Amino acid sequence: MRVLVAMSGGVDSSVAAAVAAEQFGRDRVVGATLKLWGGAADSGCCSVADVEDARRVADQLGLVHHVFNFSDEFEERVVGPYVEGHADGRTPNPCIECNRHLKFDRLLDRARTLGFDAVATGHHARRRTTAEGRFRLCRGVDPEKDQSYVLAMLGQDQLARTLFPIGEMTKAEVREEAGRLGLRTAAKPDSQDVCFIRSDEGRAGFLGSRLPLHAGRMVDQGSGEDLGPVGAVELVTVGQRRGMGHGRDGRRRFVTRVDVPARRVWLGSPEDALAADVRLHTVAWVDDVPAGGGDHSGDPTGGGWRAVAQCSAHGRPVDSTVHPEGGGLLVRFSTPQRRIAPGQTVALYEPGRPDVVIGSGIAG
Amino acid sequence: MASEAVEAMVPFLADRFGNPAGSHQESRRARRAVDDAREQIAALLGADFSEVVFTSGGTEADNLAVTGGWEAAFTGRDSPPALVCAAMEHHAVLHTCRALAERTGAECREVPTAKDGIVDLDALAEACTPEVGLVSVMTVNNEIGTVQPVEAVARVVRDRSPSALFHTDAVQAVVWTDVGAQTAPADLVAVSAHKFGGPQGIGALVVRHGVPIRPLIHGGGQERDRRSGTPNVAGIVAMAAALTVAHAARPETVARVAGLRDRLGDGLLASVTGITETAAREHKVAGHLHLRFAGLDQEALVILLDQAGVSVSAGAACASGAVEPSHVLVSMGLRPEEAAGGVRFSLGPTTSVAEIDHALAVVPVAVAQLRD
């Protein structure tokens, strides 16, 4: 078994590389860092420092290390759509699109081309193999750090060639192992933000450099009353509360709809901000498409099947029923949820085994 | 490194550590060694003793030529003079020109490359207007190996931009051509020792008599006030030894390596489909073979060949170590997908028949694996 480990320069993938090297042997494991961003000159950006961390960890583990330049694909598949999404009043999740198109497509292809049997990553998730030889995607053991949500678009082809060496470890155990091995990344802080947005410019600065931003008006969704100006409608997200002030009744107001062409942001009460359901497109299943004939028990509407939905990276799972609808899905929540911004991903888990991912889709 | 170069430098690393600027015995010995080396290097580069300025390598020599030459050319003018460089220049020149333009507001004109890998002389003539302050066109391109018409370039510059300085980056030329003769028409000539069997970290800029230049590095006024700093005595001595060896061996090296290059190029063109050779061999130095593999991912090919024991390179390496698209191929008007399959095979004086035959055996296998 020859394994290519995707090393970002962080502690998780450093330890993933160490675990893989231990398991398969140093001469059968190679590290690779993806150069996704940094522009042509590649200067003044943190990515060189991260590549250095990855390379030095690989050196320390006795692994060959390469850098793959996927910046064109990253621009085309992740950054461009992220910008276009905001121009349309949507809020795409760039980490999920990067996993979908870069790590678990382009990198898997590259690994296969170079003669590797699998790609290992430092995600907190687990891959299980069933008795029939099918692959299951499961939550990582550390509930705080579980990343199954951002992997919920993976299918059998990808899982067959993917390993998650640290999925059985908690974050504390990962850091402890990194410390025990003396890896330079042992105490490196977790990355929090979108990797291509600098903290000094923020989302507004980044989008402002790529898009014309338009001032707009806030409008009460019930009365149609004009509630004042908003700086840039492209920067407002459905469900957002921050900066939206309070209503006449003194309660907080939430964004319920963003209409970029009309330069309008619709606001409502906390109740208005809730939704009973969400429609999904770009649906992906971990295994064969559930045949609509799943578990119907407890579904008063009939026709659908039960699932547990998670609507953000660390959102609380909610019991739901899922109804195929055209090429997409209608997910009905058992209790109303904060409105899901268009572009966000909803991950679906098995109702009886809530750590097993069924699939995912993108809110329309 | 050439063994002669190693032998020449070791005494200056081990115990002869005098500073040539001092007035002690050790200093005099070091000074004598630097002067002897300067004399040898000057003779082999077709320059005069006092025209040779030692630098930390080719990149510094290019920076000194472009920035120092341009700043001197600016003196006495009202507005910043324009810069002209070939679009195929090494980044040491290209990025220096761009940085200078950005910092000063000077115009930087980048001259495209013709399909044959030679700087487009018509476009050069168009770019060379009277207000140009500095022109830089390399002697041999580092990526595709084409020898540039330095003489013809010089004629264009003198004719159309009479007040401009003409710099040529000859870093890639030394092993393969008679650099002295070839660069004679240039005002400024950059070389780097590690490209001809010397150590890394030492190079030189030839600054012709009467050519004004502003130093980049200020200090004790060494190198006739053109490059301050204690000289790298061991490096300078080793550079002279390496240049002497390379010069003496050149006719034999060129003939032998050209034979190996042709064996590799002809063999691969015959055994692998979908290959295009970049620029005709008669325009190129002996140690260069540049092939474009249609539809192939150069980054994957480089890694696959590395695993098979064949070192090739593609595009340019950036700070992170990733492969960046080749600005040289783009300057020839190739589409990005054509440039994406470009790989450079570099041969040197030590390349053996066995290495060529190994490459002939493994490249078709790697290409087949990638196209599978």
pLDDT of residue A299: 47
In degrees and rounded to multiples of 5, residue B58 shows phi and psi of -65, -40
Residue B132 phi, psi (nearest 5): -70, 135
| pLDDT on residue A9 | 93
Report the CATH number at residue B34: 3.40.640.10
Rounded-to-integer distance, Cα A199 and Cα A195, Å: 9
User: Cα A280 from chain centroid?
Assistant: 16
- Best probe of the A interface among B299, B318, B365, by most A CBs < 10 A, is B318
Q: Rounded mean pLDDT of chain A? A: 91
CATH superfamily membership of A274-363: Translation factors (2.40.30.10)
Distance from CA of A59 to the nearest CA of B (A): 15
A95 is catalytic: no
pLDDT at A42: 44
- Phi/psi of residue B87, nearest 5 degrees: -65, -20
- Which DSSP helix (H) or strand (E) runs through A139? strand A135-139
CATH numeric code, A3-122+165-181: 3.40.50.620
B304–A113: do the CB atoms touch at under 8 Å? Answer: yes
Within chain B, which residues score under 70 in pLDDT? Answer: 317-320
Which one, of B91, B92, B94, B131, lies nearest residue B111 by Cα?
B94
Query: Are B107 and B134 in contact, with CB atoms under 8 Å apart?
Result: no
Residues B41 and B108 in one domain: yes
Cite the DSSP H helix spans in chain B: 3-14, 25-44, 58-63, 69-74, 91-104, 121-127, 150-160, 179-183, 222-225, 233-271, 298-307, 327-331, 336-339, 353-371
CA closest to A110 among chain B residues: B300
Q: How confident is the model at residue A57 (pLDDT cuts 50, 70, 90)?
A: very high
Please state, in angstroms and rounded to a whole number, the distance separating the CA atoms of residues A61 and A137: 28
Distance from the Cα of B301 to chain A's closest Cα (Å) equals: 9
Examine the pLDDT at A301 and tell me if it is beyond 80: no
Question: Looking at the structure, do residues B91 and B165 belong to the same domain, yes or no?
Answer: yes
**Taking CB atoms and an 8 Å cutoff, what residues of chain A touch B322?**
35, 42, 51, 67-69, 71
Kindly state the tokens that stand for B191: 């070389």
Give the confidence band of A197 by pLDDT, cuts at 50, 70, 90.
confident
- Is B109:B84 a contact under the CB 8 Å cutoff? yes
Q: Which residue from A minimizes the CA distance to B336?
A: A72
Task: Give the C-alpha separation, A162 to A175, whole Å.
Answer: 22
Query: Per the residue annotation, which of A95, A138, A195, A311 is the catalytic one?
Result: A195
Rounded Cα distance, B64 and B70, in Å: 9
* Contact criterion met (CB < 8 Å) for A114 and B323: no
State pLDDT tens for residues B289-314: 999 999 898 899 999 999 999 999 98
Shortest distance between the Cα of A161 and any Cα of chain B, in A, equals: 18
Helix (H) or strand (E) holding A291: none
Give the span between the Cα atoms of A318 and A315, in whole angstroms.
Answer: 9
- DSSP letter string over A227-283? EEEES-GGG--TT--TT--B-TTS-B-EEEEEETTTTEEEEE-TTTTEEEEEEEEEE
Q: What is the pLDDT of residue A291?
A: 55
Q: Which residue of A has its CA nearest to B307?
A: A114
* Cα separation, A192 vs A183, whole angstroms: 21
Q: How many structural domains are present in chain B?
A: 2
Q: Are residues B191 and B216 in the same domain?
A: yes
From chain B, pick out residues whose CB is under 8 angstroms from the CB of A33: 320
A230 pairs with which residues across the strands? Answer: A216
B299 to chain A, closest Cα gap in Å: 7
B44-to-B114, B250, B289, B312 alpha-carbon distances in Å: 31, 12, 26, 30
> Is the same domain home to B223 and B260?
no
Closest-CA distance, B279 to chain A, in angstroms, reads 26
Flag if A66 and B323 touch (Cβ within 8 Å): no
The verdict on pTM exceeding 0.90 is no
Q: Chain B interface, mutation test: which of A33, A66, A108, A110, most B Cβ atoms within 10 Å?
A: A66
Three-state secondary structure call for residue A321 = strand
By C-alpha distance, the chain A residue nearest B297 is A110
Interface test with B, best of A52, A53, A68 (most B CBs within 10 A): A68
Same domain, B171 and B267: no
Confidence at residue A296, expressed as pLDDT on a 0 to 100 scale: 45
* Cβ within 8 Å, pair A47-B320: yes
Chain B residues with CB inside 8 Å of A66's CB? 303, 321
Query: Residue A309: beta bridge partners?
Result: A318, A348
What residues make up the domain containing B80? 3-245
Q: Are residues B189 and B239 in the same domain?
A: yes
Is residue B141 domain-shared with residue B258, that is, in the same domain? no
pLDDT of the residue at B132: 97
DSSP characters for B172-200?
Answer: TTTTTS-HHHHHTT-SEEEEEGGGGTS-T
Looking at B200, B225, B245, the residue that finishes a domain is: B245
Report the CATH number at residue B288.
3.90.1150.10
- CA triplet A263, A265, A269: central angle to 5 degrees? 165
Which chain A residue lies closest to B369 (C-alpha atoms)? A113
User: Helix, strand, coil shares of chain A as percentages rounded to 5?
Assistant: 25, 30, 45
Residues 6+ positions from A258 with CB-CB distance below 8 Å: A89, A233, A236, A237, A238, A264, A265, A266
| Contact (CB<8Å) B300/A40 | no
On whether both B236 and B180 belong to a single domain, the answer is: yes
Closest CA relative to residue B45, chosen from B161, B205, B262? B205
Q: Any idea where the domains of chain A sit in the sequence? A: 3-122+165-181, 216-268, 274-363
Spell out which residues of chain A touch residue B300, defining contact as CB-CB under 8 Å: 110, 113-114
Considering only CB atoms, which chain B residues are within 8 Å of A32?
Answer: none
**Smallest CA–CA distance from B318 into chain A, residue:** A42
What is the distance between the alpha carbons of residues B84 and B164, in angstroms, rounded to a whole number?
10
Minimum Cα–Cα distance from A53: chain B residue: B320
CA distances from B120 to A182, A294, B66, B123, B150 (A): 55, 69, 21, 5, 12
CA distance linking residue A265 with residue B68, whole number of Å: 57
d(CA B98, nearest CA chain A) in Å: 12
CB neighbours (10 Å) of residue A94? Answer: 19
- Name the residue with tokens 């470890």: A169
Tens digit of each residue's pLDDT (9 = 90 or more) over A130-177: 999 999 999 999 999 999 999 999 999 999 999 999 999 999 999 999
Question: Mind telling me how many Å the CA of A51 is from chain B's nearest CA?
Answer: 6
pLDDT value of position A39: 53
CA-nearest residue to B296 within chain A is: A113
Interface residue of B320, B324, B327, B369 to substitute, partner A, most A CBs within 10 Å = B320
User: Residues for chain B: how many in total?
Assistant: 372
Question: Which residues of B are known to be catalytic?
Answer: 318
Nearest CB partner across the interface for B322, out of A68, A113, A114: A68
Contact between A38 and B300 using a beta-carbon 8 Å cutoff: no
pLDDT in tens, A266-294: 999 999 999 999 999 999 999 986 655 44
CA distance B244 to B175: 11
What is the rounded CA–CA span in Å between residue B9 and residue B238? 5
Task: Tell me: ipTM over 0.85.
Answer: no
- Interchain CB distance below 8 Å, A67 and B322: yes
Q: Do A68 and B324 touch (CB under 8 A)?
A: no
Nearest CB to A114 within list B304, B321, B323: B304
Q: Of the residues A45, A46, A95, A98, which is catalytic?
A: A98
User: Nearest CB to B300: which of A48, A71, A114?
Assistant: A114
How many whole angstroms separate alpha carbon B51 and alpha carbon B54?
Answer: 10
- Mark whether B162 and B254 lie in a shared domain: no
Give me the pLDDT at residue A64, please.
96
Q: Distance (Å) from the C-alpha of residue B336 to the closest C-alpha of chain A?
A: 11
- Give pLDDT, residue A40: 42
Nearest C-alpha neighbor of B97 from the set B121, B80, B113:
B80
CB contacts of A68 in chain B (<8 Å) are 299, 322
Rounded Cα distance, A68 and A357, in Å: 30
Averaged over A304-309, what is the pLDDT? 92
Do A33 and B320 count as a contact with CB atoms less than 8 A apart? yes
Rounded CA separation A351/B95 (Å)? 59
Looking at residue B14, its pLDDT comes to 87
Q: Are residues B194 and B340 in the same domain?
A: no
Direct distance between the N- and C-terminal alpha carbons of chain A, in angstroms, rounded to an integer: 41
In this structure, the number of other CB atoms found within 10 A of the CB of residue B280 comes to: 11
Least CB–CB distance from A42: residue in B300, B307, B318: B318
Neighbours of A160 (CB within 10 A): 15
**What is the spatial distance between Cα B88 and Cα B115, in angstroms, rounded to a whole number?**
12
